[in-house]
Amino acid sequence: MADVLSEEQRSRCMSHIKSKNTKPEVLVRSFLFANGYRFRLHRKDLPGKPDIVLPKYKVAIFINGCFWHGHKDCRYATIPVNNHEFWKTKIEGNIERDRINIAKLHEFGWRVIEIWQCQLKPKNKDITLQNLLTELQYE
């Protein structure tokens, strides 16, 4: 299926997508704060600049967009038909970079929790957030 937007329009749309303070990220932060957890955001001294860092528990949380981070077998992670090779290379690069950053965090003794955008959709949100609490309580 061809793109309904021109190349310039698509470029403008893609350039406006935020990488910090996204709705899923704010949702998780609000939930953690309401449950008594205190955290830091986007620590530059840690590999991958995790979205949420709980230093007390030595936990790094990444809230990943399904498209941008290539969530396997997810309906939101389809590679566009237009400029297919560019997007395929871009997303594969993101996946590899994520893998390397997570491995480095593990080497430094950090626990890593990945939450996917699709897990925070209304149907799955409550289960995902409860699972997050459970994971934080068990070290």
- Taking alpha carbons only, the member of 39, 36, 45, 42 closest to residue 59 is 39
Grouping H, G, I as helix, E, B as strand and the rest as coil, residue 43 is: coil
Residue 63 domain-assigned? Answer: yes
Q: Are 64 and 98 in contact (CB under 8 A)?
A: yes
Spatial CB neighbours of 99, under 8 Å, sequence gap ≥ 6 = none
Instruction: Look up the domain containing 13 and give its range.
Output: 7-137
Per the structure, how many domains does the chain have? 1
Q: Chunk the chain into consecutive blocks of 10 residues (it has 139) and report each block's average pLDDT, rounded to whole numbers.
A: 65 64 92 96 95 96 93 90 89 96 98 96 95 88
Residue 17 domain-assigned? Answer: yes
CATH code of residue 83: 3.40.960.10
Instruction: Tell me the pTM.
Output: 0.86
Residue 2 domain-assigned? Answer: no
Show the CA angle centred on residue 123, arms to residues 41 and 131, nearest 5°: 50
* pLDDT in the model for residue 82: 81
* pLDDT in the model for residue 102: 98
